[in-house]
Amino acid sequence: MAFSVYAASRGHEVVLFEAKSEVGGQFNLARKIPGKEEFNETIRYFINQIKLHNIDLRLNTKLDASVLATEKFDEVVISSGVVPRELTLPGFDNPKVVDYQQVLNGQVEIGQTVALIGAGGIGFDIAHFLCERESTSLQTDKWLAQWGIDKTYQHAGGLTEEGEHHPGRDVYLLQRKTTKMGKGLGKTTGWIHRSVLKQHEVKMKTGVSYEKFDEQGLHIKVGEQAEVLAVDNVVLCAGQESNTTLVDEMKATGLPVHLIGGVDVAAELDAKRAIRQGAELAMVI
């Protein structure tokens, strides 16, 4: 979206192909996380910009080389994003083992007790999503009550008792690394994510190795200590890989091909980098 808009604003004719029925990619997943509703506005902004710049947006249209055989383009920009990283361990082919995209897309029923594998930004977000019964972030009074903020200043420091918390689920957040949980979260926001999960009594374990999943649950080891977590589901939040299916096919057409966002580098991906890459490419193409 970013590349299309900035390139069109410089006078290029842009055709934007989107396989799904809506634009936004993974932002459509991110906006479902309590507190990330503002991403709706980012998508709304780009939808308006796409219209204003007369970009030829083709929804429900998967780009492949056959399209390029019938239409003429000077350059191809691939921004096909990422796919969740899979883990191949015994029992992980069980339908109760799912990935974060299936959870946020509502494609799977999730039980009461859940283990999340991977405690990066997405692991934290999924824990929040699964625990919070109702997002309060757009309901000011409920939100203030949840965090114990007294907007009438009747209490010292404007703070009062935090509201009661009833986590919607029992969640384990697991990571292989032995470092502090959420170490890679943003410097200014990491403490908020950690506080939220603390409110929801999420059980965190570091230094975990994963053995198998069966009818008893998830078998793990923490150091040398074996443990079985009696969970209904396992959700994989174990990173992402570039969705490169188009890359070789497009390069074979002989056209100049550019990669931006997650398809370029999946590690440490965030929207800021994806948008910036799109904007910078649009300035030089």
- Does residue 271 interact with ligand FAD by CB under 6 A? yes
Say how many C-beta atoms besides its own lie within 10 A of residue 113's C-beta: 15
Closer to ligand FAD by CB, 17 or 143: give it.
17
The token duo for 181 is: 């949980």
State the residue for tokens 């029925």: 21
> Which residue, 95, 114, 87, is CA-closest to 211?
87
Contact assessment for residue 197 and residue 127, using Cβ atoms and an 8 Å cutoff: yes
Smallest distance from ligand FAD to CB 280, Å:
14
Closer to ligand FAD by CB, 18 or 170: give it.
18
Stretch that binds ligand FAD, among 77-85, 133-141, 146-154, 219-227 (CB under 6 A): 77-85
Q: Which of 120, 123, 217, 261 binds ligand FAD (CB under 6 A)?
A: 261
Q: Which of 9, 19, 52, 155 binds ligand FAD (CB under 6 A)?
A: 19
**Rounded to whole angstroms, what are the CA distances from 47 to 1, 59, 61, 82, 184?**
8, 12, 17, 21, 31
- Does residue 17 interact with ligand FAD by CB under 6 A? yes
- Does residue 131 interact with ligand FAD by CB under 6 A? no
Task: Check residue 159 and give left, alpha or beta (phi > 0: left; psi -120 to 50: alpha).
Answer: beta
- The residue ranges that bind ligand FAD (CB under 6 A) are 17-20, 25-27, 29-30, 33, 36, 62-63, 79-82, 121-122, 125, 243, 246, 261-262, 269-272, 274
